[in-house]
Amino acid sequence: MLKRMVVAIVIALGAPAGAVVAMPPGQDTALPRLVKQGTATQLVVDGAPFLILGGELGNSSGEADYLRPFWPTLQALKLNTLLAPVYWDLTEPEEGRFDFSQVDGLIRDARAHQVRLVLLWFASWKNSMSCYAPAWVKTDTRRFPRARDSSGRSLEILSPFAEQNRQADARAFAALMRHLRDFDGDRHTVIMVQVENEIGMIPEARDRSPAADELFAKPVPSALIQYLSRLDTQLAPELRALWAAQGRKSAGTWEQVFGPGPATDEIFTAWHFADYVQAVASAGKAEHPLPMFVNAALIRPGYLPGQYPSGGPLPHLIDVWRAAAPSIDFLAPDIYFPNLAEWCRRYTRSGNPLFVPEALRSVDASVNALYAVGQHDAIGFSPFGIESASGPAAGRLAESYTLLAGLAPIVLAHQGRGTMAGLLPEGADEQRQPQHVLLGGYVLRVTYERQAGPSLAEGAVAPSGAASPATRWPAGGLVIATGRDEFLFAGTGVTVTFASSAPDDTNVGILSAEEGAYENGQWSHLRWLSGDQTHQGRHLRLEPGRFSVQRIRLYRYR
Ligand code: DGJ
């Protein structure tokens, strides 16, 4: 089994363009905004950093009357934020006539339940397609041209190359944001907005409409070339390699600058999608400058651009998106694959703040949230289809969110300081080969136990046979170095031994281990742990079967 090193310090490779919104002079400074703290970017709401304990609604659950019976479920999950779609076709049923009753209903009910909203603007594109375009757009393909495949067939995808398309979307989005300013500008129920949803061209790597072909034969915009030259060593390695392979040209067509092939088709597609999104997002921000982001469908192993949505806000295209869409504050991954830690690393490698707007609604979502927040200073986490959550996945998420809500003031104070790490098994179900986490002058050797069920009492024997993936107990958590020789651990199914990170023969022992709970950042003592619970002073253990919090003090001896 591979021995994996987890280094707790996230190194931001330079300030990304558009990662932090500077408030324009004269704007309401109390609007939700993104602010840097150390290497982290935090979402500040009503003047204080805010951790999104979220869930995203299913696509067709965004009408207030339909959603009403699901609010008890959402409350039981301990969400503090709901990610909810706003539909272009319902918002602008006739050109220029706006109906905001859908979004107003959501806002009213969110306020009544003391939950914030992240709105998702389902407009030109929803998972590549244009199913949320209003009928007056869908039926007028002369005015609102479609993308075409290489056989010339028209697709139900608005072409990103049509000025009329972008203007229509931008006008509607500006109207929505203007309405939010008037309806919610002083309440901040809505704290961020996602622009479009899982943009990307399918089933080919780029649009083959005549307008697209014409632009593909033209030079790469100088703004992109200048961006490549300026960022150079900080570029995503995949993009930099393509540019270098063609001799780092400072002018030329797309194929001259990046070489022929699907990778170049995809860069071209990403530029034009991002350019279109910039027009939409900037029109909205001019009315009400909330933080805005785009989300991505990730790449299934072995798939090529066009098989997966080509040109979306993916980590290998982050520079293209940043160069073309400075009004977008960050790119966000929808993580349904099991290698969540790897996608989190890829999305944060150049200082992009991590926010996971969609995640698989499994029992593991509970520990994945702790990991994202602990390891990558995530702004928040949000399983998808949240109103349908039930059974063990719902139970574990509520437990994890309760724990995170109590810890939030401490977690937020530590973000960006190099004093936190996330704990998550990678690869195998169980991880007996320790991960090594370097933190606070110690090496933490971490192993994970996943199989024991929730009813397993201390000292009981585990039932034979593996639990099913849907019901097995998750393992993972986070650790914070709270002071010299002191750590706080939160999570489940985690065992940790300690060693000095200094290259000497000092031994490390446990001075005290205490179990308790946090509420609003305030600690309350439950019990002191020693004897069997620390393996007679050898380790810390967050037992499987429940979520818990421990504070531990270490000492060194010879
Ligand atoms: C990802 C999309 O972004 C969501 O809107 C939804 O379609 C889910 N996939 C379904 O799994």
Could you report the per-residue pLDDT of 243-259, keeping only the tens digit for each? Answer: 999 999 999 999 999 99
CA dist., res. 312 & res. 294, Å (int): 9
Centroid of ligand 1 to alpha carbon of 333 (angstroms): 12
Task: Give pLDDT, residue 468.
Answer: 63
User: What single-letter amino acid sits at 24?
Assistant: P
Q: Which atom of ligand 1 is nearest to the CA of 384?
A: 8
Describe the crossing of helices 163-184 and 262-287 by its angle, rounded to 10 degrees: 40
Centroid of ligand 1 to alpha carbon of 336 (angstroms): 10
Mutation to probe ligand 1, out of 122, 196, 198 (largest number of atoms < 8 A from CB):
198
* pLDDT at residue 150 tops 70: yes
Q: What are phi and psi of 211, to 5 degrees?
A: -65, -40
Determine the length of the chain: 558
Centroid of ligand 1 to alpha carbon of 123 (angstroms): 14
Torsion of CA 428, 429, 430, 431, to 10 degrees: 30
Q: Is 435 buried (19+), middle (13-18) or exposed (0-12) by CB count in 10 A?
A: buried
Query: Do residues 336 and 359 touch, judged by C-beta distance below 8 A?
Result: yes
Q: Which atom of ligand 1 is nearest to the CA of 295?
A: 3
Nearest-CA residue for ligand 1 atom 6 is 59
Centroid of ligand 1 to alpha carbon of 384 (angstroms): 8
DSSP letter (8 states) at residue 310: B
**Residues in Cβ contact with 393 at an 8 Å cutoff, skipping those fewer than 6 apart:** 361, 362, 363, 365, 366, 383, 470
Centroid of ligand 1 to alpha carbon of 54 (angstroms): 16
Look at 27 and 315; give whichever has higher pLDDT: 315
Centroid of ligand 1 to alpha carbon of 196 (angstroms): 12
Task: Give pLDDT, residue 504.
Answer: 82
CA proximity to 283, closest of 178, 184, 192, 196: 178
| Greatest Cα-to-Cα distance within the chain, rounded to the nearest angstrom | 81
Q: Which atom of ligand 1 is nearest to the CA of 59?
A: 5
Mutation to probe ligand 1, out of 127, 361, 386 (largest number of atoms < 8 A from CB):
127
Centroid of ligand 1 to alpha carbon of 277 (angstroms): 19
CA proximity to 274, closest of 235, 309, 322: 322
Task: Give pLDDT, residue 119.
Answer: 99
**Residues in Cβ contact with 65 at an 8 Å cutoff, skipping those fewer than 6 apart:** 105
Nearest-CA residue for ligand 1 atom 4 is 59
| Mean pLDDT confidence for 96-105 | 98
CA angle 280/171/210 to nearest 5° reads: 65
3-state secondary structure 321-344: HHHHCCCCCEEEEEECCCCHHHHH
Query: Do residues 313 and 292 touch, judged by C-beta distance below 8 A?
Result: no
| Mean pLDDT confidence for 369-389 | 98
Centroid of ligand 1 to alpha carbon of 467 (angstroms): 28
Which amino acids bring their CB within 6 angstroms of ligand 1? 59, 127, 197-198, 334, 358, 384
| Mean pLDDT confidence for 524-529 | 98
The dihedral through the CA atoms of 157, 160, 162, 164 has a sign that is positive
Query: What DSSP letter does each residue of 390-409 carry, written as one string?
Result: -HHHHHHHHHHHHHHHHHHH
| Mean pLDDT confidence for 412-422 | 98
Mutation to probe ligand 1, out of 334, 356, 360 (largest number of atoms < 8 A from CB):
334
CA proximity to 294, closest of 176, 123, 168: 123
CA dist., res. 130 & res. 529, Å (int): 57
Centroid of ligand 1 to alpha carbon of 464 (angstroms): 36
Query: Do residues 266 and 305 touch, judged by C-beta distance below 8 A?
Result: yes
Task: Give pLDDT, residue 471.
Answer: 66
Q: Which atom of ligand 1 is nearest to the CA of 85?
A: 5
| Mean pLDDT confidence for 291-306 | 97
